[in-house]
A and B are shown apart, each in its own frame.
Chain A
């Protein structure tokens, strides 16, 4: 069991959890993720590690309540326990001195961008960050991103805060203004990552995106997380999670991420078991 030591509410239904996991805290690098399982009945869900504290042996993850498992987690408080936490999984972000790096975070994608921005800055890059959200109250980690960056731009879709528009507007403007960009890191919802990759494609700017497919074991056994990268089948859990944004088949990823929409709805509606239409008998009854 893994203890939750702290819960911080960032905005409506978005929380940071600090979880006791000493080995992972010591080992993890920017870009890596964990898989958690809430309880005996739970699913295995991947979450990017945002930060860690080696001294108190905790990792920080940011969670948005979107389904049953994230909902259960968001209902937990400090002192509660999660059944399983495993990691750090995936390859760390490739960090080097590119000169100038633009870090783009969309929505809760800002959380995984934060450690990468920090690491890029430590590697000597000039870090320009762009974080975007639908609306002012959904802007997260602004202060932290400000500290990690040389320059920060905030956008909101509805114009309630910062630039009125999308993160890609700012990215395009930086390019138009002649900023020499060595690398763009874009993490957020799939349409946003796709849009970022499309902005940089004509200029051949190296663009990293972090993919978030459905996983089961997350350790290179099941193949659920396969994605098409440059026409090849790749596995996000062991080959990723970061890939060249210009090579990713985002359309396929979008469809695959919608595999269980119907089942997710059932799980949310029926939090307890009832006799459904299936014809099996339960083996534990």
Chain B
């Protein structure tokens, strides 16, 4: 590309993406952004300057050939673009929606140095949606069976990535899923308005068409142990059992009725469809005044979900300031537009209940930022005498997860760290137990969909090598 054209391309304005009006969307669970039209997608693709040494690829945890798929979109070859994506990313429709692109590919985009970066995430979503909606999903020719069987424990992002890669390499793959539906956090955690469940279904359907078997209601560690999987003829096992038990703060009143973990709240609403109660049987306390404690992506999901159950007020209570909020900017922005109240530099000291043990409020205290702590962020310190009461009938605690203990308990010869998370070799995903690989939140403690998928892909490459050579 000659310098003149590069310059002209860089000056093109970023294509905005239409989205539901905030006033309307808080009344429904439909997806918030509409997605690009083909014209918008081609116009946005034109902003890519097709760098010879593209930094964006290095910014992607799974290393998608970004300039290539974008060029295909620019040329109007949308289906081909989707297939290019799928060579490295089994779930582009998911990642186009939930990846924190502003911290990954788009962060390092050269165009973004001077202007706004190319909307890589939106283009990824566009291509994947186009392929799916036009019934163009192609099942690739698979190699002959290698004679090897692979067990994938957990049907979340890490496990799905492993399953997709391994089946394409000719291995037989079975996913063991503890819940009644596969997808992991994509179905129980991320809300419908951010990731429609029909998209997850079609991704799962694709894997099934490739020949992946999914066994539901199978809790590894209970229904079968890892060792029993080997006894049953599996040659390698990937453990992607995901986020474990939620952390609580250890303050008085945390077990009052109306105090939820974000995991429970989101599971009730997303997986069990409590927002359609009583058509669906699982209830959730709707609440008049709801507060979410914490300010990560899960907290934003919980707050925006709560808002759609139409209470009078939903707030985020966070002990640090806006700058330290770990959630994606886009999520914070969407939450603000929808009317979430941010009670920053504030933290609850105790929850207050009525005589029936139901939550009625929280005693909070104001915080100020002191010296930086180990994480480099300024440590919040209580302002003495600043206690005040917030009326609440639902509180959702979103301060991270511990490790699920089931697999570790039943697999004593696999090493875990002091928090119970499985320890792996970072490059290969290999655990201390021969033939067992791991990745995703059971290793990381709590991360993103794409990091879990990256773990899965690395583990799959190493697993393939192990199955081919027998070398551990």
Contacts and interface: CB of A to CB of B under 8 A. Distances in A.
B201 interface: no
A223 B263 contact: yes
A191 to B, nearest CB: 15
Contact of A86 (B178, B276, B281, B282): B178
A259 B282 CA distance: 12
Nearest to A252: B255
Chain A interface residue count: which class?
A: 35 or more
Nearest to B189: A221
A219 B28 contact: no
Given A41-B280, A84-B216, A255-B257, A235 B180 contact: no
A259 B274 CA distance: 15
Given A27-B222, A86-B223, A42 B281 contact: yes
Contacts of A228: 255
B370 interface: no
The interface centre, meaning the residue of A86, A88, A264, A267 with most chain B CB atoms within 10 A of its CB, is A86
Interface stretch (B33-41, B238-246, B458-466): B238-246
Given A89-B222, A266-B278, A280-B29, A226 B309 contact: no
A39 to B, nearest CB: 9
B255 A256 contact: yes
A256 B281 contact: no
B196 to A, nearest CB: 8
Interface stretch (B53-61, B81-89, B144-152, B264-272): B264-272
Nearest to A284: B276
B357 A23 contact: no
Contacts of B224: 23
B446 interface: no
A242 to B, nearest CB: 16
B309 A278 contact: yes
B222 A226 contact: no
B349 to A, nearest CB: 17
Contact of A280 (B217, B268, B310): B310
B357 A256 contact: yes
Nearest to B279: A273
Interface string B245-287: 1101010001111101101100110001101111111110110
A223 B406 contact: no
Nearest to A254: B357
B180 A220 contact: no
Contacts of A233: 248, 250, 254-255
B30 interface: yes
Contacts of A143: none
A175 interface: no
A62 to B, nearest CB: 21
B356 interface: yes
A68 interface: yes
Contact of A281 (B30, B263, B279, B356): B30
B405 interface: yes
B279 A222 contact: no
A135 to B, nearest CB: 29
A69 interface: yes
Chain B interface residue count: which class?
A: 35 or more
Interface in A90-110: none
B405 to A, nearest CB: 6
B219 interface: yes
B28 A280 contact: yes
Given A226-B255, A273-B276, A220 B244 contact: yes
Contacts of A37: 180
B179 A217 contact: yes
A228 to B, nearest CB: 6
A256 B257 contact: yes
B139 to A, nearest CB: 27
Given A220-B405, A256-B357, A258-B356, A283 B283 contact: no
B278 A23 contact: no
A252 B283 CA distance: 20
Contact of B217 (A43, A85, A276): A85
A224 B257 CA distance: 10
| Closest A-B pairs by Cβ, 6 of them | A255-B357, A273-B279, A263-B283, A86-B217, A222-B264, A223-B261
Given A216-B267, A220-B404, A273-B276, 8 more contacts: A41-B281, A86-B180, A217-B178, A221-B245, A222-B264, A224-B260, A260-B283, A283-B30
Interface of A: 23-24, 27, 37-38, 41-44, 68-69, 83-89, 216-217, 219-224, 226-228, 233, 235, 238, 252, 255-256, 258-260, 263-264, 266-267, 270, 272-273, 276, 278-283
27 contacts: A23-B223, A37-B180, A41-B279, A43-B282, A44-B272, A68-B281, A84-B180, A84-B216, A216-B272, A219-B178, A220-B244, A221-B404, A222-B246, A223-B264, A235-B245, A238-B404, A238-B405, A252-B255, A256-B255, A256-B357, A258-B356, A259-B258, A273-B278, A279-B310, A281-B27, A282-B279, A283-B192
